[in-house]
Amino acid sequence: MADKHSRLDGPLCTAHRQAMADIRNIVVLTGAGISAESGIDTFRSAGGLWEQHRVEDVATPEAFARDPDLVLRFYDMRRANIQKAYPNAAHDALARLDQYWQGNLLIVTQNVDDLHERAGAERLIHMHGEHLSAWCLSCDGRTRWHAPLSDRPACPQCGEAALRPDIVWFGEMPYRMDEIDRAIGQCDLFVSIGTSGAVYPAAGYVRTARHYGARTLELNLDPSQGSIMFHECRMGRATDLVPAWVDEMLTHQAERL
């Protein structure tokens, strides 16, 4: 396996094909870029999600304590918007990989939309929470949620009006970290799709994967902050790159069988 950082725009080279032939266990990290083509704002793009609100005003526990009405209205708007969006070809392709890949596969998404699920993916972790989930600060219960929270509805489990968005805010611990770390430590291939490489701990996963000997691949519209860490980077639209990559992986699998 070469450690040379490369950008392959044409057909896969022989060395790459040989490396791919040994792949059994895959971890895929997805970020805002995979949902951007479904009309969901990316994290820091011009005109994107945070431009109209400072992060400190809407995405921290301190913001919620200081102005809960603003935070709840903000997330009510986001929750409503994602329910109008639809999975795109990149989501569909990963769901197809999930269905047919015979080795271990884990899709770790930083996104809080439900487009992976609606496309059919099941081997999935939302490390930053989900818009369509409400967390009760009274009983610690979590409930699937599609309606507004700004009118302070009662928790279906305990009856208290103590629901907040089930989103991991800045300063909070992402979900299911032990499972993610274990999968990255055991994977043969780590793939990052549509991420900025600016938000930790996810931005450090490529280093962890390489430390344990995995091959690493970035699929992105533009180079991320961590692009230099990947063995291979392919630049372009997620709806073009991801289906093509999934086709390659399933072809490699069929050739082995």
Q: pLDDT by residue (tens digit) across 74-105?
A: 999 999 999 999 999 999 999 999 999 999 99
Q: How confident is the model at residue 8 (pLDDT cuts 50, 70, 90)?
A: very low
Q: pLDDT by residue (tens digit) across 152-200?
A: 999 999 999 999 999 999 999 999 999 999 999 999 999 999 998 888 8
Q: How confident is the model at residue 19 (pLDDT cuts 50, 70, 90)?
A: low
pLDDT confidence of residue 5 = 40
CB 100 within 8 A of CB 250: yes
Q: How confident is the model at residue 2 (pLDDT cuts 50, 70, 90)?
A: very low
pLDDT at 127 over 90: yes
Q: How confident is the model at residue 53 (pLDDT cuts 50, 70, 90)?
A: confident
pLDDT confidence of residue 7 = 44
Average pLDDT of the residues of the chain:
89
116: annotated active-site residue: no
Percentage above 90 pLDDT, the chain: 77
Options 16, 91, 128, 131, the catalytic residue:
128
pLDDT confidence of residue 52 = 67
Q: Tell me which fold the domain 41-84+130-167 belongs to.
A: SIR2/SIRT2 'Small Domain' (3.30.1600)
For 1-40+87-128+175-257, CATH number out of 3.20.20.70, 3.50.50.60, 3.40.50.1220, 3.90.1150.10 equals: 3.40.50.1220
pTM, two decimal places: 0.89
Delimit the domains of the chain by residue range: 1-40+87-128+175-257, 41-84+130-167
Q: How confident is the model at residue 14 (pLDDT cuts 50, 70, 90)?
A: low
| Domain 41-84+130-167 in the same topology as domain 1-40+87-128+175-257 | no
